[in-house]
Structures are given as structure tokens and as C-alpha cells.
Amino acid sequence: MMEDLGFILWAVVVMAALNVLMVAITLGVKALRAVHRRRTDARARRLEFALGESLDNGEVHPGLRRLGNRDLDLLAIQMVEYLSLLRGAERDRLVRLAEETGLVERSLLALGARGRWRKAKAAENLGYFGGPGAVGAIVQLFPNRDETLRAVAARALARIGTPEAARALAETLNDFSELTRLRMAENLERIGHEAVGPLLDTLGSGTPPGRLLAVRVLGNLRALEAGPALREAMRDGESPDLRAQAALALGKIGNPDDLPALVESASDEAWPVRALAASALGMIGEASTIPTLRELTVDREWWVRLNASRALANIGPAGEKALASLLDEGDRYTRDRAAATLEERGITRRAIGELDAVGEKGESARAMIRAMVRAGAVRYLERLARTSPDSGVREALERTMREAREGGP
């Protein structure tokens, strides 16, 4: 019995000692962390002061020379924060300062580190303060199979934004990885006009996926000088996808000189080309293309009819009138599509408010509503006739619908 009691007491003492030890270790770790944080904050403040002085004086502050690795890491963080905000001469001065303090050289060396996160951090930093000279080193990360690392490298090149950076990104549009290609395209858009030349090269000689993405980016950049190459791709492209995307890109660019080529493309044998050619014509919005779009509204493919109807709505009063005329077409699908487009674009609601207007405006509005009734597209009209807050509008709509059902003018 006494032996058992002694064992229990011994166990209690050991547990108490362990608890005291754990508390001591915890407090010690917290104290060490607090000391480390205070020292780090103090170093950061000294570096920030020296950095500010260097920006003001245009010379490297003595406090930024011969820094250790930890201080260089802190300085890199502060420089990135500054560079994300500064523009013009101050930014150029800060980039030169990064070179003079050894940050650029250190980041270039870190690109060869074994750890991927060290590589990624170095690439990110070089995107801010590496300058054109860092492009070649950053490009060396592209063969790496790590998608995250390649994405960071691409974003760094986009920040540098030189023609060389754009060319490196454009060449990577031919990469085997679809995710990489999409990221490269996104960063080429960030670079802007400097990317147009490399993109045109990829369009001329890249792989099929690379050419397709080059076309999309050129359209998103509204690159007017890409018109001839895009027209050639739209006419002679080896795949329907390429021809279709080239048509859409021309629509985004919005040059009326491209209308003849787009009208020709509207009769392409592949329906995706016809569909995006219709969208492109709607983007440019020339009334002269209404006959072509009207033909596309009776196309055998649903997407073509949809895009053509919406394109007519984009053209303005003349396009809206042509769209309303489709309500008397013999094809039920064409009538339904025209009515749906008129409703979703707010054209029907606007016409209802103009039913009692005098002159051509009122007559056009009444003709449209009567045509919708004849076409059987009355569900939306009936709801408005019940719920419109304006009693005059409700009465005019009910009267016009009644006249249409009775065969009135």
C-alpha cells in the first residue's frame, strides 16, 4: 500500500515538473519571438529610413551598403511595396538602387536555388526591380514542370513589359500545357501593345493552339495593325476554330475596313465561323451589314441565329426595325428568337412606352407590338399589361394587343 502511494506521489511530482517545464519552454519561445520581432522591426525601420533618404538624395545611403542576407530580404520586401506604387523617375531610381545594393544579383542567383519557393520569390522580385536584363534568366524557369513557378515567371515578365519579355511569353503560347498557355496569354494582355509584334509572329508560325491564343489576345488588345494577318487567318485558317476566333478578333478591333471580309466569312461552311462573324458584325455596328445579318437569322444552326439577332439589336434603330420584321417570318424559331432578343435588350419595353407617340416613332412601336401578337409572343406583353405602374401605358398596350387580335391595322 505504501509502495503504491509512493509511486503515485512520484508520478504527480514528475507531471508537475513536466508542466512547469512546458510552461517555461512556451514562455521562452514567446519571449524569443518577441525579441526577434522587435529586432526585425527595428532593422526594417532603419532600412526604410535609409531607403527614403536614398530616394530623396538620389544616392545610396550608407545604411544600405554591405547588408546581410536577412537585411537584403527585408529591403526586397520594402522595395516591392514601393515599386507597386511608384511610377516614372522615382521608379527608375529605385530600380537602379536595387542594382547598386546587390538585390538584383542576389535574386538572379536565387533563381538557381533548389527550393521552388526561393526560385518563385526571386522571379517575383525580379519582375519588380530586375529590369530588361533579368528577362533571359527568368525565361530559364519556363522548362520547369512546376505550373506555379512558371506562372510566377510569366507574371514577372509581364511586369518588366519589354519587347523581349513579350517575345518570350509569345513563344510559350506553343507550350504543351494548356494551363501554361492560358497564363501566358493573360500576361501578354497585361503587357499591351509591346506584345503585338511577337503575337503576330506566333500567329504566322506557331502551333495550332498557340495561333489560336495569339488571335484571341490580338483581339483583346484591339490591335489595329493585326487586321491583315487576322483577315488572312479568317479566310485561310486550317481550322474552323481559328477562322472563328479571327472573325471575333476583327469585331473587337472594330475597323470598318474589315467588313467585306467579315461578310464573306458569314457564309463559311463551318457554323462556329458564321456565328462569330455575326457577333463581329454586331460589334462594328454598320447598318450596311443588316441584309447579311438578316440572312443569318434563318440559319440552320441555333447559335448563328442567336448571334445574328443580337447583332441586329446592336446596330440601332435600323437593326431593331429589321429584327422586328423577323416577327412575320414563316419560321417559328426565327420568330421566337427575334421576340426573345427584343425583350432581353429592352426594346419591347421601350416600344410599349411609345405606343401613344405621334408620327413614325409611335407607328413603329405599334407595328412591333402587333407583330409580336401575331407571332404568338404575348407572355411578356400580358405581364406588362398587368404590372406596368403607368395606367396610360397599360391601356395603350391592351388596346394595341386587342387590335392585333381582331386583325386591325
Helix axis angle, 208-220 to 227-236, nearest 10°: 140
Q: Is 175 helix (H, G, I), strand (E, B) or coil?
A: coil
Cβ atoms 262, 270 nearer than 8 A: no
* Residues 280, 150: Cα–Cα separation, whole Å: 34
* pLDDT computed for residue 41 by the predictor: 67
Among 131, 200, 187, residue whose Cα is nearest residue 158: 187
* Residues 91, 78: Cα–Cα separation, whole Å: 13
Q: Is 406 helix (H, G, I), strand (E, B) or coil?
A: coil
* pLDDT computed for residue 166 by the predictor: 94
Cβ atoms 335, 383 nearer than 8 A: no
List of residues 6+ apart from 317 with CB closer than 8 A? none
Domain 75-84+92-186 has CATH 1.25.40.20: no
pLDDT tens string 173-227: 988 888 888 989 999 999 999 999 999 999 999 899 999 999 999 999 999 999 9
* Residues 186, 217: Cα–Cα separation, whole Å: 8
Predicted TM-score (pTM) of the model is 0.81
* pLDDT computed for residue 235 by the predictor: 86
* pLDDT computed for residue 279 by the predictor: 97
* pLDDT computed for residue 260 by the predictor: 96
Residue linked to cell 401578337: 373
Handedness of CA 236, 237, 242, 244 (dihedral sign): positive
* pLDDT computed for residue 26 by the predictor: 78
pLDDT under 50 in the chain at which residues? Answer: none
Task: Compute the radius of gyration of the chain from its Cα atoms.
Answer: 34
pLDDT tens string 27-72: 777 777 766 677 666 777 787 777 777 777 777 778 777 777 788 8
Angle at CA 94, nearest 5°, toward 93 and 100?
Answer: 90
For 264-318, CATH number out of 3.40.50.1450, 1.25.10.10, 3.40.50.740, 1.25.40.10 equals: 1.25.10.10
* pLDDT computed for residue 3 by the predictor: 60
* pLDDT computed for residue 236 by the predictor: 78
Cα 300 to Cα 292, 312, 334, distances in angstroms: 15, 18, 10
Return the amino acid letter for 392: G
- The H-assigned helical ranges of 161-239 are 163-171, 178-191, 196-205, 208-220, 227-236
What is the number of other CB atoms lying within 10 angstroms of the CB of residue 52? 13
pLDDT tens string 252-265: 999 999 999 999 99
Angle at CA 130, nearest 5°, toward 166 and 142?
Answer: 50
List of residues 6+ apart from 188 with CB closer than 8 A? 158, 166, 169, 170, 173, 195, 198, 199, 217
Q: Taking every pair of C-alpha atoms in the chain, what is the biggest distance, in angstroms?
A: 116
Stretch(es) of the chain classified as CATH 1.25.10.10:
75-84+92-186, 264-318
- How many helices (H) and strands (E) are present in the chain, helices listed first? 23, 0
